[in-house]
């Protein structure tokens, strides 16, 4: 119910968000468009009211269906390496709270985002803030399958720990397109290495980036 109600933000929220952006700069985020987009989006809208006063701390928080809203640094990091351009057609796997999708949409991208957890997908049906982004399209489905009927995509971003680079998602990219994906470094899935995949005419090339920790990317549709 709270998700449906328009909210206002206070000077406190704006001040805390400004501090967060300064912290992201200190941690190495240089893309001004990423910083400006995150500086405009009220992160506390995406969280339970219990977290409102700490919503701008640089850490992840729990959301519905046992998932998390990513740490702001992680959102900024992935967005920066995605090299988002205005009017890019971007496929996101793992809508979650929709915060990452809104950052991309705020940067001028056309975002197609898939969520496998029905509870999360339906929860966002009523989220008033998503009405700000008419070019953000949400789908309930299996992220490993992508959205072939909407392909090809300029960019693909995965916001969960993948066991491997999904071949169907590579197929749905344009030649020269970029994918940002955290891939498990061991069988336990306790840590992932971020990779930047660039599609070529004959396949793709990989660039190894930093290590992160994500919730696992699962196949199929969640039943609840």
Catalytic position from the list 70, 79, 191, 202: 70
DSSP calls for the chain: -GGGS-----HHHHHHHHHHHHHHHHTT---HHHHHHHHHS-GGGGS-GGGGGGTTSSS-EE-GGG-EEPPHHHHHHHHHHHT--TT-EEEEE--TTSHHHHHHHHTT-EEEEEE--HHHHHHHHT-GGGGG-TTEEEEES-TTT--GGG--EEEEEE-SBBSS--HHHHHTEEEEEEEEEEEESSTT-S-EEEEEEEEETTEEEEEEEEEE--PBP--S----
Is 70 an active-site residue?
yes
Residues labelled catalytic: 70
């Amino acid at each position: 119910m709270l998700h449906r109600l328009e909210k206002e933000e206070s000077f406190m929220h704006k001040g805390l968000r400004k501090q967060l952006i300064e912290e992201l700069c200190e941690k190495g985020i240089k893309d001004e468009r990423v910083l400006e987009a995150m500086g405009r989006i009220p992160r506390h809208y995406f969280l339970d009211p219990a977290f409102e006063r700490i919503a701008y701390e640089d850490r992840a928080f729990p959301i519905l269906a046992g998932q998390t809203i990513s740490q702001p640094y992680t959102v900024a990091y992935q967005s920066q390496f995605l090299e988002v351009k205005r009017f890019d057609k971007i496929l996101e796997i793992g809508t979650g709270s929709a915060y990452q999708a809104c950052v991309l949409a705020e940067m001028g991208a056309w975002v197609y985002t898939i969520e496998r957890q029905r509870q999360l997908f339906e929860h966002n049906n009523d989220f008033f803030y998503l009405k700000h982004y008419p070019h953000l399209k949400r789908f309930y489905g299996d992220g490993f399958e992508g959205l072939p009927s909407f392909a090809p995509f300029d960019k693909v971003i995965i916001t969960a720990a993948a066991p491997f680079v999904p071949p169907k998602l590579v197929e749905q990219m344009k030649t020269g397109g970029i994918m940002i994906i955290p891939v498990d470094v061991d069988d336990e899935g306790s840590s992932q290495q971020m990779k930047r995949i660039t599609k070529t005419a004959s396949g793709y090339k990989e660039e190894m980036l930093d290590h992160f920790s994500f919730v696992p990317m699962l196949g199929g549709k969640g039943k609840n």
